[in-house]
């Protein structure tokens, strides 16, 4: 017997009689979804800007990130300030000097300010992690209350890679002092589109 068969046989022999799978639970908290989102996003260290149109964003970015030499974004609306042909990149290492990436996730979650994004919206998988700063665009109608609604929305989507991102990368490994900018972006800016 190889290890696979051995392990499976032992598991089958040792597991208990089947216990039932509990019914699905879902909760919708009281409270305004947008207000909750904003409060939690600030609490986890994100910066927030509210705009009326996506077209306002490039100008605000130029203002907020004057130091950014290399800006990337798969969004055509950002072409005035960013490289947008990311899908054509063969070697993700060439993105090592990206100062700012601008992405639009599918939606965000109020209870933890996490934004769900799949690789087709990243340009390259490494983009939201390797950039020094990350900005995301979230239309206010694309905010759900909790992770229950989030997974209802994701449902059985087919993706190669997807993830929730909540705030800038961080660590508190040294005496529990919070430091923003561990290995991923040093900052997270959220543009809420009304």
**Span 78-97, contacts to other proteins by CB under 8 A:** 92-93, 96
Residue from the set 52, 66, 69, 176 that interacts with other proteins by CB under 8 A: 176
Taking CB under 8 A as the binding criterion, the range among 55-63, 100-108, 135-143, 175-183 that sits at the site for other proteins is 175-183
Q: Does residue 160 belong to the site contacting other proteins (CB under 8 A)? A: yes
107 vs 129 by CB, closer to other proteins: 129
Q: Does residue 179 belong to the site contacting other proteins (CB under 8 A)? A: yes
Taking CB under 8 A as the binding criterion, the range among 56-64, 70-78, 99-107, 148-156 that sits at the site for other proteins is 148-156
CA dist 5 to 15, 16, 20, Å? Answer: 15, 19, 25
- Give the count of residues interacting with other proteins (CB under 8 A): 71
**Binders of other proteins among 13-52, rule CB under 8 A?**
13-22, 24-27, 29, 40, 44
User: Rounded to whole angstroms, how far apart are CA atoms 143 and 100?
Assistant: 23
85 vs 161 by CB, closer to other proteins: 161
Q: Does residue 107 belong to the site contacting other proteins (CB under 8 A)? A: no
Beta bridge partners of 192: 50, 138
Q: Enter the tokens of residue 62.
A: 């130029």
Residues 51 and 60 sit within 8 Å (Cβ to Cβ): yes
Least separation in angstroms between residue 53's CB and other proteins is 29
Three-state SS for 10-30 is HHHHHCCCCCCCCCCCCCCCC
Calculated CA dihedral for residues 47, 48, 49, 54, nearest 10 degrees:
100
Residues 97 and 127 sit within 8 Å (Cβ to Cβ): no
84 vs 124 by CB, closer to other proteins: 124
2 vs 53 by CB, closer to other proteins: 2
Q: Does residue 165 belong to the site contacting other proteins (CB under 8 A)? A: yes
CA dist 9 to 13, 14, 17, 112, Å? Answer: 6, 9, 15, 41
Residues 193 and 140 sit within 8 Å (Cβ to Cβ): yes
Residue from the set 73, 84, 104, 113 that interacts with other proteins by CB under 8 A: 113
């Amino acid at each position: 017997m190889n290890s696979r068969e051995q392990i499976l046989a032992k598991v089958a022999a040792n597991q208990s009689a089947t216990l039932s799978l509990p019914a699905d639970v879902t909760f919708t908290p009281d409270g305004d979804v947008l207000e909750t989102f904003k409060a939690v996003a600030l609490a986890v260290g994100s910066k927030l800007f509210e705009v009326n149109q996506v077209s306002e964003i490039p100008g605000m970015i130029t203002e907020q990130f004057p130091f950014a030499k290399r800006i990337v974004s798969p969004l055509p609306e950002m072409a005035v300030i960013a490289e947008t042909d990311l899908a054509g990149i063969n070697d993700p290492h060439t993105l090592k000097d990206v100062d700012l990436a601008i992405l639009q996730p599918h939606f965000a979650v109020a209870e933890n300010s996490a934004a769900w994004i799949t690789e087709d919206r990243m340009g390259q998988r490494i983009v939201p992690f390797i950039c020094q700063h990350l900005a995301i665009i979230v239309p206010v109608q694309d905010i759900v209350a909790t992770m229950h609604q989030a997974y209802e929305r994701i449902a059985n989507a087919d993706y190669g890679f997807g993830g929730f991102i909540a705030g800038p990368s961080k660590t508190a490994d040294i005496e529990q002092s919070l430091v923003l900018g561990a290995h991923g972006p040093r900052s997270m800016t959220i543009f809420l589109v009304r």
